[in-house]
Amino acid sequence: LEEVIRYKCLVLDHDDTLVNSTATIHFPCFCEFLKEVRPNAKAYTLEDYFRRNFDPGILPFFTEEVGLSPQELDYEFRFWQNYVKPRVPQAFSGMREILERHKRQGGILAVVSHSMKDAIVRDYQENGLPQPDVIYGWDLPPEQRKPAPWALEQIMAQFSLPASELLMVDDLKPGYDMARAAGVDFAAAGWAYDVPEIEAFMRKNCDFYFKTVQEFGTFLEED
């Protein structure tokens, strides 16, 4: 029996879509950083942090709300890179099977993320996952990163695919905005956290919403 492939190209976000990284790495890193540069700042909860990542996004949050100067932003980036280096996040259970099946069917696997490309390659290796065909990370110039549609346009051009052959899977609004701008179907990954207003927005606005990795896998297998 020939397996069906719903989308020729899966475009995956990385953090909190493939790997459980914000709760275990990025948020603790942010708290450590804040302790050092803004010792009197208000305390943020993990849920607060997810909300700010969702909207307005990480850079506006850092510059406008936390009030980081360009110099502090540079320092935050170095602080974050040093923190991430020795810490490998775990892939969500079930993701390996989904990716292996997709590759077996001749599918293309792309990653568009706000993590650095090196970290993404390492996380795939350490979790024993099939390597992506192409990765667009935080290393890009700011105007080419999510939510700009640039990466999706590059993927379509490189693999000669129409927008209808791509599915963007992401847990946050910048990914949604990027997919909408490029005319690409968008699936919300709802399995990393429970924040009611994020879930409400995604359920209302996205083409698909999946609360579990298993739901996502089942959807890909449907004819």
Amino acid at 172: L
Q: Pick from 61, 42, 45, 64: which is nearest to 53 by CA?
A: 61
Q: How far apart are CA 89 and CA 18, in angstroms?
A: 9
Helix (H, G, I), strand (E, B) or coil at 73: helix
pLDDT at 117 over 80: yes
- Assign 4 a pLDDT band (cuts: 50, 70, 90): confident
Helix (H, G, I), strand (E, B) or coil at 12: strand
Amino acid at 190: G
Q: How far apart are CA 223 and CA 179, in angstroms?
A: 23
- Assign 68 a pLDDT band (cuts: 50, 70, 90): very high
pTM greater than the 0.85 cutoff: yes
